[in-house]
Amino acid sequence: MKIIDVSKDNFKEEVLDSKIPVLVDFNADWCGPCKMIRPILDEIASEHDEYRIVSVNIDDEDELAEEYGVFSIPCLVVFRGGSEYTRSIGLRPKEEIEGMLGGD
Amino acid sequence: MYDIIIVGAGPAGLTSSIYARRAMKKTLVLEAVSYGGQIINTLSIENYPANPGISGFDFATKLYNQAKEMGSEVKFEKVTEIKDNGDYKEVITTKGIYETKTIILATGLENRKLGVTREDELIGKGVSYCATCDGAFYKGKNVAVVGGGNTALEDALYLTDIAKIVYLIHRRDEFRGEEALVNNLKNRDNIKFIYNSNVTKLIGDDKLEGIEVTNNDGSKEDIEVSGLFIAIGRIPENENFKNIIALDESGYIVASEDCHTNVSGIFVSGDNRAKDVRQLVTAVSDGAIAACEAIKFINKKK
Protein backbone atom coordinates (compact mmCIF):
# COMPACT_ATOMS: atom_id res chain seq x y z
CA MET A 1 0.00 0.00 0.00
CA LYS A 2 1.19 3.49 -0.76
CA ILE A 3 1.95 5.90 2.05
CA ILE A 4 -0.69 8.61 2.23
CA ASP A 5 -0.50 12.05 3.86
CA VAL A 6 -2.77 12.46 6.83
CA SER A 7 -4.06 15.67 8.43
CA LYS A 8 -6.05 16.38 11.56
CA ASP A 9 -9.22 16.18 9.44
CA ASN A 10 -8.77 12.54 8.53
CA PHE A 11 -6.51 11.29 11.35
CA LYS A 12 -9.41 9.61 13.14
CA GLU A 13 -10.65 7.85 10.02
CA GLU A 14 -7.23 6.79 8.70
CA VAL A 15 -5.46 6.00 11.97
CA LEU A 16 -7.66 5.71 15.05
CA ASP A 17 -10.55 3.86 13.39
CA SER A 18 -8.32 1.56 11.35
CA LYS A 19 -8.91 -2.19 11.66
CA ILE A 20 -5.25 -2.90 11.00
CA PRO A 21 -2.15 -1.46 12.75
CA VAL A 22 -1.07 1.94 11.46
CA LEU A 23 2.41 3.42 11.60
CA VAL A 24 2.39 7.22 11.63
CA ASP A 25 5.56 8.86 10.32
CA PHE A 26 5.84 12.36 11.85
CA ASN A 27 8.27 14.32 9.65
CA ALA A 28 9.19 17.69 8.12
CA ASP A 29 10.78 18.89 4.90
CA TRP A 30 13.79 20.37 6.71
CA CYS A 31 14.62 17.14 8.56
CA GLY A 32 17.48 15.17 6.98
CA PRO A 33 16.97 11.94 8.91
CA CYS A 34 13.26 12.03 7.94
CA LYS A 35 14.23 12.00 4.28
CA MET A 36 16.47 9.02 4.92
CA ILE A 37 13.83 7.01 6.73
CA ARG A 38 11.18 7.59 4.05
CA PRO A 39 12.58 5.14 1.43
CA ILE A 40 12.70 2.45 4.13
CA LEU A 41 9.04 3.15 4.97
CA ASP A 42 8.10 3.09 1.27
CA GLU A 43 9.75 -0.32 1.00
CA ILE A 44 7.94 -1.69 4.05
CA ALA A 45 4.64 -0.26 2.81
CA SER A 46 5.05 -1.95 -0.57
CA GLU A 47 5.90 -5.30 1.02
CA HIS A 48 3.14 -5.50 3.61
CA ASP A 49 -0.64 -5.28 3.34
CA GLU A 50 -1.33 -6.32 6.91
CA TYR A 51 -0.59 -2.82 8.17
CA ARG A 52 -0.68 0.72 6.85
CA ILE A 53 1.84 3.56 6.94
CA VAL A 54 0.80 7.22 6.86
CA SER A 55 2.75 10.47 6.92
CA VAL A 56 2.14 13.58 9.02
CA ASN A 57 4.00 16.79 8.20
CA ILE A 58 4.52 18.45 11.56
CA ASP A 59 4.81 21.96 10.12
CA ASP A 60 1.39 21.69 8.50
CA GLU A 61 -0.11 19.63 11.32
CA ASP A 62 1.35 21.12 14.46
CA GLU A 63 -1.83 20.34 16.39
CA LEU A 64 -1.39 16.61 15.74
CA ALA A 65 2.28 16.79 16.73
CA GLU A 66 1.32 18.55 19.95
CA GLU A 67 -1.56 16.18 20.69
CA TYR A 68 0.65 13.10 20.35
CA GLY A 69 3.63 14.58 22.19
CA VAL A 70 6.01 14.64 19.25
CA PHE A 71 9.09 16.68 20.20
CA SER A 72 11.69 15.16 17.92
CA ILE A 73 11.56 13.82 14.39
CA PRO A 74 11.66 11.43 12.67
CA CYS A 75 9.14 10.00 15.11
CA LEU A 76 7.33 6.78 14.24
CA VAL A 77 4.23 5.94 16.25
CA VAL A 78 2.36 2.66 15.84
CA PHE A 79 -1.38 2.71 16.61
CA ARG A 80 -3.37 -0.44 17.26
CA GLY A 81 -7.09 -0.36 17.88
CA GLY A 82 -7.10 3.42 18.16
CA SER A 83 -4.38 3.83 20.74
CA GLU A 84 -0.63 4.17 20.78
CA TYR A 85 1.16 0.83 20.90
CA THR A 86 4.82 1.82 20.54
CA ARG A 87 7.03 4.59 19.17
CA SER A 88 10.59 5.27 18.07
CA ILE A 89 12.60 8.43 17.56
CA GLY A 90 15.40 9.00 15.10
CA LEU A 91 16.72 6.83 12.31
CA ARG A 92 15.94 3.16 12.69
CA PRO A 93 16.98 0.15 10.62
CA LYS A 94 14.29 -1.57 8.56
CA GLU A 95 14.09 -4.69 10.76
CA GLU A 96 13.51 -2.62 13.82
CA ILE A 97 10.61 -0.77 12.20
CA GLU A 98 9.10 -4.05 11.03
CA GLY A 99 9.53 -5.34 14.56
CA MET A 100 7.54 -2.39 15.91
CA LEU A 101 4.69 -3.28 13.57
CA GLY A 102 4.83 -7.04 13.82
CA GLY A 103 5.57 -7.55 17.51
CA ASP A 104 2.93 -8.89 19.86
CA MET B 1 37.24 -13.05 2.16
CA TYR B 2 36.99 -9.30 1.72
CA ASP B 3 40.01 -7.12 1.03
CA ILE B 4 38.72 -4.22 3.12
CA ILE B 5 35.87 -4.05 5.62
CA ILE B 6 34.92 -0.54 6.65
CA VAL B 7 33.02 -0.05 9.88
CA GLY B 8 30.77 3.00 9.61
CA ALA B 9 29.09 4.65 6.61
CA GLY B 10 29.70 8.29 7.46
CA PRO B 11 31.79 10.62 5.30
CA ALA B 12 35.08 8.97 6.38
CA GLY B 13 33.95 5.38 5.82
CA LEU B 14 32.22 6.04 2.50
CA THR B 15 35.23 7.95 1.19
CA SER B 16 37.44 4.99 2.14
CA SER B 17 35.13 2.72 0.17
CA ILE B 18 35.42 4.91 -2.93
CA TYR B 19 39.23 4.77 -2.84
CA ALA B 20 39.15 1.04 -2.11
CA ARG B 21 36.90 0.39 -5.11
CA ARG B 22 39.02 2.54 -7.39
CA ALA B 23 41.84 0.13 -6.53
CA MET B 24 39.46 -2.74 -7.35
CA LYS B 25 39.47 -4.09 -3.82
CA LYS B 26 36.55 -6.20 -2.61
CA THR B 27 34.94 -3.85 -0.14
CA LEU B 28 32.20 -4.16 2.45
CA VAL B 29 30.85 -1.25 4.47
CA LEU B 30 29.03 -2.15 7.70
CA GLU B 31 26.74 0.45 9.23
CA ALA B 32 24.66 0.16 12.40
CA VAL B 33 21.90 2.65 11.62
CA SER B 34 21.99 4.64 8.41
CA TYR B 35 24.54 6.19 6.09
CA GLY B 36 25.77 9.75 6.48
CA GLY B 37 26.82 10.01 10.11
CA GLN B 38 26.53 13.26 12.08
CA ILE B 39 26.46 15.48 8.98
CA ILE B 40 22.85 14.54 8.15
CA ASN B 41 21.67 16.84 10.95
CA THR B 42 23.38 19.88 9.44
CA LEU B 43 20.94 22.04 7.51
CA SER B 44 23.54 23.80 5.41
CA ILE B 45 27.27 23.06 5.12
CA GLU B 46 29.17 26.32 4.76
CA ASN B 47 32.81 25.28 5.16
CA TYR B 48 33.28 22.42 2.73
CA PRO B 49 35.34 23.45 -0.30
CA ALA B 50 33.54 24.16 -3.57
CA ASN B 51 30.03 23.28 -2.45
CA PRO B 52 28.81 25.96 -0.05
CA GLY B 53 25.27 25.62 1.23
CA ILE B 54 24.71 21.96 0.41
CA SER B 55 22.51 20.28 3.02
CA GLY B 56 23.97 17.51 5.14
CA PHE B 57 21.34 15.13 3.81
CA ASP B 58 22.18 15.91 0.17
CA PHE B 59 25.89 15.60 0.84
CA ALA B 60 25.45 12.22 2.56
CA THR B 61 23.11 10.88 -0.11
CA LYS B 62 25.39 11.93 -2.98
CA LEU B 63 28.35 10.34 -1.25
CA TYR B 64 26.41 7.15 -0.52
CA ASN B 65 25.22 6.86 -4.14
CA GLN B 66 28.75 7.50 -5.37
CA ALA B 67 30.09 4.70 -3.15
CA LYS B 68 27.36 2.30 -4.32
CA GLU B 69 27.95 3.15 -7.98
CA MET B 70 31.65 2.40 -7.51
CA GLY B 71 30.66 -1.09 -6.38
CA SER B 72 30.89 -0.84 -2.61
CA GLU B 73 28.76 -3.37 -0.82
CA VAL B 74 26.88 -1.82 2.15
CA LYS B 75 25.16 -3.85 4.87
CA PHE B 76 23.19 -2.42 7.75
CA GLU B 77 24.51 -4.47 10.67
CA LYS B 78 26.06 -3.37 13.92
CA VAL B 79 29.64 -4.49 14.51
CA THR B 80 30.01 -5.97 17.98
CA GLU B 81 33.60 -7.21 17.88
CA ILE B 82 36.72 -7.45 15.73
CA LYS B 83 39.39 -10.15 15.90
CA ASP B 84 42.93 -10.22 14.61
CA ASN B 85 43.87 -13.73 13.47
CA GLY B 86 47.25 -12.74 12.04
CA ASP B 87 46.90 -13.34 8.31
CA TYR B 88 43.27 -12.33 8.27
CA LYS B 89 40.78 -10.57 10.51
CA GLU B 90 37.23 -11.23 11.56
CA VAL B 91 34.45 -8.72 11.91
CA ILE B 92 31.53 -9.91 14.03
CA THR B 93 28.16 -8.24 13.64
CA THR B 94 24.71 -8.73 15.08
CA LYS B 95 23.99 -10.92 12.04
CA GLY B 96 27.15 -12.76 11.15
CA ILE B 97 30.91 -13.06 10.87
CA TYR B 98 32.93 -11.66 7.97
CA GLU B 99 36.56 -12.42 7.09
CA THR B 100 38.78 -9.71 5.70
CA LYS B 101 42.41 -8.85 5.01
CA THR B 102 42.11 -5.33 6.45
CA ILE B 103 39.71 -3.26 8.53
CA ILE B 104 39.08 0.48 8.57
CA LEU B 105 37.35 1.73 11.72
CA ALA B 106 35.28 4.80 10.83
CA THR B 107 32.64 4.71 13.53
CA GLY B 108 32.68 8.41 14.38
CA LEU B 109 31.18 9.97 17.48
CA GLU B 110 27.97 9.77 19.44
CA ASN B 111 26.41 12.31 21.77
CA ARG B 112 27.74 12.38 25.28
CA LYS B 113 24.95 11.75 27.77
CA LEU B 114 24.43 13.70 30.97
CA GLY B 115 24.08 10.51 32.97
CA VAL B 116 20.94 11.46 34.88
CA THR B 117 18.17 8.97 35.63
CA ARG B 118 15.54 8.52 32.88
CA GLU B 119 17.58 10.45 30.32
CA ASP B 120 17.11 7.75 27.66
CA GLU B 121 13.44 7.36 28.44
CA LEU B 122 12.76 11.07 27.87
CA ILE B 123 14.68 11.43 24.59
CA GLY B 124 12.20 12.91 22.12
CA LYS B 125 9.88 13.77 25.00
CA GLY B 126 11.76 16.86 26.04
CA VAL B 127 15.35 15.63 26.10
CA SER B 128 17.29 16.40 22.93
CA TYR B 129 20.89 16.47 21.68
CA CYS B 130 20.20 18.59 18.59
CA ALA B 131 18.75 22.09 18.84
CA THR B 132 18.50 22.63 15.09
CA CYS B 133 16.63 19.32 14.72
CA ASP B 134 14.15 19.66 17.57
CA GLY B 135 14.09 23.38 18.42
CA ALA B 136 10.98 24.02 16.33
CA PHE B 137 8.88 21.99 18.77
CA TYR B 138 9.49 24.46 21.57
CA LYS B 139 7.92 27.63 20.18
CA GLY B 140 7.04 29.93 23.06
CA LYS B 141 8.08 27.38 25.70
CA ASN B 142 10.83 27.44 28.29
CA VAL B 143 13.91 25.39 27.52
CA ALA B 144 17.34 24.76 29.01
CA VAL B 145 20.68 24.12 27.35
CA VAL B 146 23.49 22.33 29.18
CA GLY B 147 27.12 22.85 28.24
CA GLY B 148 29.85 25.43 27.92
CA GLY B 149 31.38 24.98 24.48
CA ASN B 150 30.51 26.41 21.09
CA THR B 151 27.75 23.90 20.45
CA ALA B 152 25.97 24.84 23.67
CA LEU B 153 26.34 28.56 22.92
CA GLU B 154 25.13 28.14 19.33
CA ASP B 155 22.23 26.00 20.47
CA ALA B 156 21.24 28.59 23.09
CA LEU B 157 21.46 31.38 20.53
CA TYR B 158 19.35 29.43 18.04
CA LEU B 159 16.74 28.69 20.70
CA THR B 160 16.42 32.30 21.87
CA ASP B 161 14.68 32.98 18.55
CA ILE B 162 12.13 30.25 19.17
CA ALA B 163 11.59 29.67 22.87
CA LYS B 164 10.18 31.93 25.57
CA ILE B 165 13.07 31.67 28.04
CA VAL B 166 16.35 29.86 27.45
CA TYR B 167 18.34 28.80 30.52
CA LEU B 168 21.99 28.10 29.80
CA ILE B 169 23.42 25.86 32.46
CA HIS B 170 27.16 25.43 32.77
CA ARG B 171 29.18 23.66 35.45
CA ARG B 172 31.90 26.34 35.49
CA ASP B 173 31.83 30.12 35.90
CA GLU B 174 32.99 30.87 32.37
CA PHE B 175 32.39 29.40 28.93
CA ARG B 176 34.90 27.48 26.85
CA GLY B 177 33.27 28.67 23.64
CA GLU B 178 34.03 31.74 21.54
CA GLU B 179 33.68 35.13 23.19
CA ALA B 180 31.79 36.56 20.24
CA LEU B 181 29.07 33.95 20.76
CA VAL B 182 28.91 34.68 24.48
CA ASN B 183 28.56 38.42 23.83
CA ASN B 184 25.91 37.76 21.24
CA LEU B 185 23.97 35.70 23.76
CA LYS B 186 24.27 38.35 26.48
CA ASN B 187 22.43 40.77 24.19
CA ARG B 188 19.37 38.55 24.03
CA ASP B 189 16.47 39.44 26.33
CA ASN B 190 15.28 35.91 26.96
CA ILE B 191 18.49 34.20 28.03
CA LYS B 192 19.27 33.31 31.65
CA PHE B 193 22.73 32.12 32.60
CA ILE B 194 23.11 29.58 35.39
CA TYR B 195 26.78 29.10 36.24
CA ASN B 196 28.57 26.59 38.48
CA SER B 197 25.65 24.19 38.22
CA ASN B 198 24.66 20.77 36.97
CA VAL B 199 21.34 19.24 35.95
CA THR B 200 20.77 16.54 38.54
CA LYS B 201 17.20 15.40 37.99
CA LEU B 202 14.60 15.24 35.22
CA ILE B 203 11.06 16.02 36.34
CA GLY B 204 7.92 14.79 34.54
CA ASP B 205 6.32 11.42 33.83
CA ASP B 206 5.41 11.05 30.16
CA LYS B 207 7.28 14.14 29.08
CA LEU B 208 9.78 16.55 30.53
CA GLU B 209 8.21 19.22 32.72
CA GLY B 210 11.21 20.52 34.60
CA ILE B 211 14.73 19.95 35.83
CA GLU B 212 16.47 20.02 39.13
CA VAL B 213 19.63 22.12 39.01
CA THR B 214 22.27 21.72 41.70
CA ASN B 215 24.80 24.47 42.28
CA ASN B 216 28.39 23.53 43.10
CA ASP B 217 27.76 24.94 46.61
CA GLY B 218 25.11 22.25 47.13
CA SER B 219 21.95 24.36 46.80
CA LYS B 220 19.17 22.98 44.61
CA GLU B 221 16.54 24.64 42.46
CA ASP B 222 13.73 23.28 40.29
CA ILE B 223 13.19 25.00 36.95
CA GLU B 224 10.13 24.54 34.76
CA VAL B 225 11.18 23.65 31.22
CA SER B 226 9.61 21.63 28.40
CA GLY B 227 12.90 21.02 26.65
CA LEU B 228 16.42 20.17 27.73
CA PHE B 229 19.14 20.39 25.09
CA ILE B 230 22.27 18.53 26.07
CA ALA B 231 25.40 19.86 24.40
CA ILE B 232 28.27 18.55 26.48
CA GLY B 233 30.29 17.10 23.66
CA ARG B 234 30.54 13.86 21.78
CA ILE B 235 32.34 10.64 22.54
CA PRO B 236 34.01 8.19 20.16
CA GLU B 237 32.30 4.89 19.42
CA ASN B 238 35.33 2.69 19.96
CA GLU B 239 34.09 0.68 22.93
CA ASN B 240 33.71 -2.56 20.92
CA PHE B 241 37.31 -2.53 19.68
CA LYS B 242 39.23 -1.83 22.84
CA ASN B 243 40.06 -5.52 23.34
CA ILE B 244 42.73 -5.16 20.64
CA ILE B 245 42.91 -1.50 19.61
CA ALA B 246 44.83 1.08 21.66
CA LEU B 247 42.70 4.01 22.77
CA ASP B 248 43.75 7.23 24.45
CA GLU B 249 42.32 8.31 27.82
CA SER B 250 39.30 9.91 26.12
CA GLY B 251 38.52 6.79 24.12
CA TYR B 252 39.88 7.92 20.74
CA ILE B 253 41.92 5.49 18.64
CA VAL B 254 45.59 6.34 18.83
CA ALA B 255 46.95 6.85 15.32
CA SER B 256 48.97 9.51 13.56
CA GLU B 257 48.00 11.05 10.23
CA ASP B 258 48.87 7.79 8.45
CA CYS B 259 45.79 6.30 10.17
CA HIS B 260 47.61 3.13 11.30
CA THR B 261 46.37 1.68 14.59
CA ASN B 262 48.53 -0.44 16.89
CA VAL B 263 47.36 -3.57 15.01
CA SER B 264 48.90 -4.23 11.62
CA GLY B 265 46.23 -4.19 8.91
CA ILE B 266 43.68 -2.29 11.00
CA PHE B 267 43.27 1.41 10.23
CA VAL B 268 41.16 4.24 11.60
CA SER B 269 39.57 7.18 9.82
CA GLY B 270 37.44 10.13 10.82
CA ASP B 271 36.28 11.66 14.07
CA ASN B 272 37.01 8.58 16.21
CA ARG B 273 40.75 9.03 15.61
CA ALA B 274 42.78 11.01 18.16
CA LYS B 275 43.36 14.38 16.47
CA ASP B 276 42.81 18.11 16.89
CA VAL B 277 40.53 19.14 14.05
CA ARG B 278 37.29 17.23 13.54
CA GLN B 279 35.59 18.56 10.44
CA LEU B 280 33.85 17.09 7.41
CA VAL B 281 36.91 17.85 5.32
CA THR B 282 39.31 16.12 7.74
CA ALA B 283 36.99 13.11 7.94
CA VAL B 284 37.05 12.56 4.18
CA SER B 285 40.79 13.23 4.20
CA ASP B 286 41.28 10.43 6.74
CA GLY B 287 39.01 8.26 4.61
CA ALA B 288 41.32 8.59 1.62
CA ILE B 289 44.50 8.05 3.64
CA ALA B 290 43.22 4.99 5.52
CA ALA B 291 42.07 3.37 2.27
CA CYS B 292 45.40 4.03 0.52
CA GLU B 293 47.28 2.58 3.48
CA ALA B 294 45.03 -0.49 3.51
CA ILE B 295 45.54 -0.96 -0.24
CA LYS B 296 49.33 -0.72 0.24
CA PHE B 297 49.16 -3.28 3.05
CA ILE B 298 47.22 -5.76 0.88
CA ASN B 299 49.43 -5.33 -2.18
CA LYS B 300 52.61 -5.82 -0.15
CA LYS B 301 51.32 -9.16 1.19
CA LYS B 302 50.72 -10.61 -2.28
Confidence class of residue A59 from pLDDT cuts 50, 70 and 90? very high
User: What is the average pLDDT score of chain B?
Assistant: 95
| Omega of the bond leading into B11 within 30 degrees of 0 (cis) | no
pLDDT, tens only, A89-103 = 888 888 889 999 985
Residues in B touching A28 (Cβ below 8 Å): 136
In SS3 terms, chain B reads as CEEEEEECCCHHHHHHHHHHHHCCCCEEEECCCCCCHHHHHCCCECCCCCCCCECHHHHHHHHHHHHHHCCCEEECCCEEEEEECCCCEEEEECCCEEEEEEEEECCCEEECCCCCCCCCCCECCCEECCHHHHHHHHCCCCEEEECCCHHHHHHHHHHHCCCCCEEEECCCCCCCCCHHHHHHHHCCCCEEEECCEEEEEEECCCCCCEEEEEECCCCEEEEECCEEEECCCEEECCHHHCCCCCECCCCCECCCCCCECCCCCEEECCCCECCCCCCHHHHHHHHHHHHHHHHHHHHHHC
For residue A86, give how far its alpha carbon lies from the nearest alpha carbon of chain B (Å). 13
Task: Return the ∠ at Cα B2 (arms to B15 and B287), rounded to 5°.
Answer: 15
Mean pLDDT across B259-288: 96
> Contact, B280 vs B60, CB < 8 A?
no
Confidence class of residue B266 from pLDDT cuts 50, 70 and 90? very high
Active site residue A75: no
Active site residue B286: no
So what's the pLDDT on residue B256? 94
For residue A69, give how far its alpha carbon lies from the nearest alpha carbon of chain B (Å). 7
Share of chain B above pLDDT 70, in %: 100
pLDDT, tens only, B116-128 = 999 999 988 999 9
So what's the pLDDT on residue B48? 93
- Window 2-41 of B, Cβ < 8 Å to A: 32-36, 40-41
- Give the CATH architecture of domain B2-110+234-301: 3-Layer(bba) Sandwich (3.50)
Q: Is B56 within 8 Å of chain A by CB?
A: yes
Q: Which of A72, A75, A86, A88 to mutate to test the interface with B (most CBs of B within 10 A)?
A: A72
So what's the pLDDT on residue A103? 57
ipTM at complex level: 0.73
A22, A23, A24, A34: the catalytic one is A34
So what's the pLDDT on residue A30? 87
Give the domain ranges of chain B: 2-110+234-301, 127-230
So what's the pLDDT on residue B132? 83
pLDDT, tens only, B145-169 = 999 998 899 999 999 999 999 999 9
pLDDT, tens only, B180-196 = 999 999 999 999 999 99
So what's the pLDDT on residue B246? 97
Share of chain A above pLDDT 90, in %: 72
Q: What is the CATH number of domain B127-230?
A: 3.50.50.60
Same fold yes or no, B2-110+234-301 and B127-230:
yes
Rounded distance between C-alpha atoms, residue B1 and residue B213, angstroms: 54
Mean pLDDT across B56-69: 95
So what's the pLDDT on residue A22? 96
The yes-or-no verdict on residue B75 having pLDDT over 70 is: yes
The yes-or-no verdict on residue B263 having pLDDT over 90 is: yes
The yes-or-no verdict on residue B261 having pLDDT over 70 is: yes
- The structural domains of chain A, ordered by start, are 4-91 (3.40.30.10)
